[in-house]
Chain A
């Protein structure tokens, strides 16, 4: 078997292609797995909420357990820097505003850096 026909054989191309795709994916994962999760907290009117306590829950086999807690700044922004999971939930709590709904965030790999486009929103007071 010549080198050319060997190199163009499907028995080489398919596993070789898979190895290349895996290496590229691993390089991408390596560059984006710092565990940073960023987002904003807003009230019912869409105004930023400062000082809201944001909790990060990590998925276990059956339940979600709290793994981190941070506070939103004056712009309502929050940031976690040590998420190690691939499936998390976020929830904000502020005095007088109650709690937001838990936001489920499923990531493509553990500790993937993520920026939440849709802010955590408190419901309008009843």
Chain B
């Protein structure tokens, strides 16, 4: 490697380290506040935690029904993830097939992506109510059971599978459903990981929909619990930030576990050849 190339690489790394630092500072500040009882408005702010402890996390666990909220969020996210992988895989496969009106369906999907969820929330609420799913886990996960972005992720992944492989499977007598399960899904692990991560994070952070359809406090999810906690504990920033860390941790963990597949899933189909 020439001297010029080396210094260019060093400069690139330095830039990336600086950008990473800027991105990570808010996270560091949240964690620092969560492990201390410092007031975040204190001036001058201390860079490092003083008298760090973990008791704010214990307070969060006991002062509100945190385990209940956690279990609710887990149930809802699990239902949403399962529904997403199942329905999106089916929809993605259908879109790789040739049928009359395929382009119209694609155009409809793309145009639906432009409509914000807030605009469709009333019909979504009425449909959920008609189905008797208000205040249920399935109702909470209902609008997240299939997402258009994730359908396109599956479509791109399935299109990357050689057509001859699918034809061979069909000649061997596999039904369409078994082609998806036995051939396409095992070859589309990055797309599955992308679906799992995106759906989990969206469902986990969802605030507006659970706020609308839950009646019983025992059915509330973590973001609603966070809002409730904020209203009670607005002057206790340590506990509040500890709550924020506890809400964030599972989705960060899921992302870290599957980030390699996630990035591969998002970039698959980006280039041809």
Interface residues of A (CB under 8 A from B): 10-11, 14, 59, 61-62, 85-87, 106-110
**Which A residues are CB-close (under 8 A) to B177?**
none
B63-81 near A? 1/0 per residue, CB < 8 Å? 1000000000000000000
Q: Looking at the complex, which one of B62, B233, B257 makes contact with A110 (CB distance below 8 Å)?
A: B62
CB <8 Å contact, B232 and A61 = yes
CB <8 Å contact, B233 and A86 = no
CB <8 Å contact, B58 and A10 = no
Q: Mind listing 27 A-B residue pairs with CB under 8 Å?
A: A10-B257, A11-B257, A11-B258, A14-B253, A14-B257, A59-B59, A59-B63, A61-B63, A61-B232, A61-B233, A62-B232, A85-B62, A86-B58, A86-B59, A86-B61, A86-B62, A87-B55, A87-B58, A87-B59, A87-B62, A106-B53, A106-B55, A106-B58, A107-B58, A108-B58, A109-B58, A110-B62
**Which B residues are CB-close (under 8 A) to A107?**
58
Distance, CA A86 to CA B59, complexed state (A): 8
Which chain B residues numbered 241 to 273 have a C-beta less than 8 Å away from chain A? 253, 257-258
Q: Taking the nearest CB of chain A, how far is it from the CB of B96, in angstroms? A: 25
Instruction: Name A's interface SS.
Output: loop
Q: Taking the nearest CB of chain A, how far is it from the CB of B39, in angstroms? A: 17
Distance, CA A52 to CA B129, complexed state (A): 61
Q: Taking the nearest CB of chain B, how far is it from the CB of A107, in angstroms? A: 7
The 5 closest A-B pairs by CB, nearest first: A106-B55, A86-B62, A86-B58, A61-B232, A10-B257
**Which B residues are CB-close (under 8 A) to A108?**
58
**Which A residues are CB-close (under 8 A) to B55?**
87, 106
Distance, CA A11 to CA B233, complexed state (A): 36
Q: Taking the nearest CB of chain A, how far is it from the CB of B143, in angstroms? A: 27
